[in-house]
Structure 1
Amino acid sequence: MNEVIRQNSEILFLYDAKMCNPNGDPDDENRPRMDTDRERCLVSDVRLKRYIRDYLEEMNHTIYVTKSEGLTEAAGRLKQVLGHEPTGADLPVLLTKLVDVRLFGATMPIRGDRRGTGEAVNLTGPVQFTWGYSLNRVQLVDSVTISSQFSTREGARQGTFGKDYRLYYALIGFHGVISARRAAAMLARAGGDGNGATGEADVALLDEAMVKAIPLLATRSKIGQYPRLYTRFVFTDAETFMGDPREDLRLDPASGLRAVQDFTLELKGLAGRLSRVHERLDRVYIWQDADLRTVVDGQEVSMAGWLGDILGPDKVKTLGRT
């Protein structure tokens, strides 16, 4: 049973990008997105959700937003899922089938009651992410020109040229929220059927995808990216959020990095944020890569062990990666 979530969660996700382009900007020759004033790279929430969706599809879950997007494709996708033209009456069925809509929401073109009319159903999903940014100052690799050749129908050879933009190293952090209130709103749109609302099983799939998706679905420009830390803080109610935990993390050093072994991640600043919500923290799910060194006051600790000392070991649940 995909029991509807009734407690808020907050997510901290870190992954690194080595000698690759974590999120190219198509309006700027596909250069890595940058906050040039702070020398930080940026990654959109859309890019992160694409990794998650692609992983869910690879695992044979039905998704709505495939790699081919747009209004025409969206209408065709709904028809493909249902086997007929969608109407407003089909919304509960669509929510039951489409896991990415239950997680992230979507805008879906649905035919209205009158022939020839249409409408867009807008659903805001309970799982939302900010844009990611690097915790360290990054450096661009000097770009190189790349070329490709292909044959035309007439047998002639044609070629294209472009620039290959990459970063030396970035530790990228995302902050996300899972809203139980939005899950309740999704339940109402599903007609009260719990299978059509965001459930605990959906969130468990999200946990799995966050840890596994990026290295499994790497393309040429994305090889060199690996998850390093995933933490989901679950609160006791549908009211509590604690805010962005990235603000409390510090790298030492924070520049000149080339690999995960070049720095330590200081956790101490997070203690104050946790103390403000201590009584409303129900449990924490965590996965940490063995190569990421986390410290408190310079002393190396595992984040799971440190959280167990603060919150109580019974509240900390370690996620596996196999």
Structure 2
Amino acid sequence: MTTIKNRYDFVFLFDVKDGNPNGDPDFDNMPRTDEETNQGLVTDVCIKRKVRNYVQLLKGLESPYDIFIREGNVLNLLINEKRNEADKEDEDEKKAVAKGRMKMCEQYYDIRTFGAVMSTGEEKEDSDSTEDVNADGGKDKKNKKKESKKKIKGLGVVRGPVQLTFARSIDPVDAKSHTLTRCCVTNDNGNNNTMGNKNTVSYGLYRMHGFISATDAAKTGFSEEDKELLFEAIINAFENDHAAARGEMNPRALIVFKHESPLGNARAGQLFDLVKVEKKEGIEYPRSFGDYIVSIDKCQVPATIEVEELIK
């Protein structure tokens, strides 16, 4: 597979209706919000999880599309396995670590895409002990010293070529907590039929920005095929992730800027500013994607950058 040669920046719009797109465990799983503006937030980790889940369903955990960060994996065991393989192939420690990192990138799609921390600290390895020589030239057995050396444990850190921002809603969201009840009780010594709470936002259109670095892709082996799979996963992220708690979540726009050069031909912020999302006239409380107008000022896009809308 050929690694990508171009830089990419993209804008992803998605919405939620009567659901919780990303609960905050520090606040009783209420939808995440900016406390000052009441705009809704969805973390990059949340979207990455959905991408991983889609790739896992599509590719079935087979190399080179295995998933490193997933339920059931014992990460240190997987890291040490590759480290031990690399140590057997190369006695030079630095070369072994680099070789082990590349093996991880080759097997795991999410490491090749998002990067990973694969360092578990440092461990000390004791070498042969030495004995002090006393003034008479004899060995002092009471004052033995052990020389120790530090060996890097794990495989260090891989910086992924794909980086995502938090998603932020275009307008403030109305976050609510709904008490749920049921018609039966859990035991025969009470009549409390309260079941719990469901937290939702009435409606929110969220905007996320993404970046794909060609220079970092060369280090992990992130290929054109990987990039196409990433966009496919983003578009289909919610299709196999439905849950009553999340309500209705749908992708609405994926606008990709492809630079002619690996380092880019314009600043990402400059390109993002060309994508406008505005409420239609007369709409005070948006309740659907149809209440917004999304526009791209393509006349201001440099000739060395291609624009593609992947969701029509």
Fold shared per TM-score above 0.5: yes
Structure 2 residue 303 is the aligned partner of structure 1 residue 279: yes
> Which residue in the other structure is 2:213 paired with?
179
Deviation string, structure 1 residues 88-108 (Cα, Å, up to 9, x no partner)? 242222111111111110111
Change (3 A) 1:132 1:250: same
Deviation string, structure 1 residues 146-179 (Cα, Å, up to 9, x no partner)? 689989xxxxxxx996432111111111110111
**2:253 aligned to 210, 229, 247, which one?**
229
Q: What amino acid is the match of 2:218? A: A
1:275: Cα distance to partner? 4.3
1:65: Cα distance to partner? 0.9
Higher RCO (CA-CA < 8 Å; seq separation 6+): 2
Structure 2 residue 50 is the aligned partner of structure 1 residue 40: no
* Aligned structure 1 segments of 4 or more residues deviating by more than 6 angstroms: 83-86, 110-114, 146-151
Percent same amino acid at aligned positions? 24
Structure 2 residue 175 is the aligned partner of structure 1 residue 140: yes
> Which residue in the other structure is 2:68 paired with?
64
**1:257 aligned to 286, 296, 299, which one?**
286
> Which residue in the other structure is 2:146 paired with?
none
> Which residue in the other structure is 2:76 paired with?
75
1:220: Cα distance to partner? 3.1
Q: What amino acid is the match of 2:268? A: M
> Which residue in the other structure is 1:215 paired with?
239
Unaligned runs of 5+ in 1: 152-158, 187-196, 289-322
Q: What amino acid is the match of 1:23? A: N
CA RMSD of aligned residues (A): 3.2
Q: What amino acid is the match of 1:250? A: E
Question: 1:21–1:222: 8 Å Cα contact kept in structure 2?
Answer: yes
Question: 1:29–1:163: 8 Å Cα contact kept in structure 2?
Answer: no
Mapping for residues 111-122 of structure 1, pairs under 5 Å: 118-122=153-157
Q: Secondary structure at the match of 2:237?
A: helix
Q: What amino acid is the match of 2:206? A: I
Q: What amino acid is the match of 2:49? A: R
1:232: Cα distance to partner? 1.4
Question: 2:30–2:177: 8 Å Cα contact kept in structure 1?
Answer: no
Greater per-residue helix proportion: 1
1:145: Cα distance to partner? 4.4
**What is the TM-score with the length of structure 2 in the denominator?**
0.73
> Which residue in the other structure is 1:242 paired with?
268
Which one is further off, 213-222 or 171-180? 213-222
**2:204 aligned to 166, 170, 193, which one?**
170
Unaligned runs of 5+ in 2: 88-96, 126-150, 188-192
1:246: Cα distance to partner? 8.0
Question: 2:277–2:292: 8 Å Cα contact kept in structure 1?
Answer: no
> Which residue in the other structure is 1:320 paired with?
none
How far apart, CA to CA, are the structure 1 residues paired with 2:54 and 2:21? Answer: 17
Deviation string, structure 1 residues 40-66 (Cα, Å, up to 9, x no partner)? 100011101010011111112311111
Q: What amino acid is the match of 1:75? A: N
**What is the TM-score with the length of structure 1 in the denominator?**
0.71
1:251: Cα distance to partner? 2.2
Greater per-residue strand proportion: 2
1:279: Cα distance to partner? 1.5
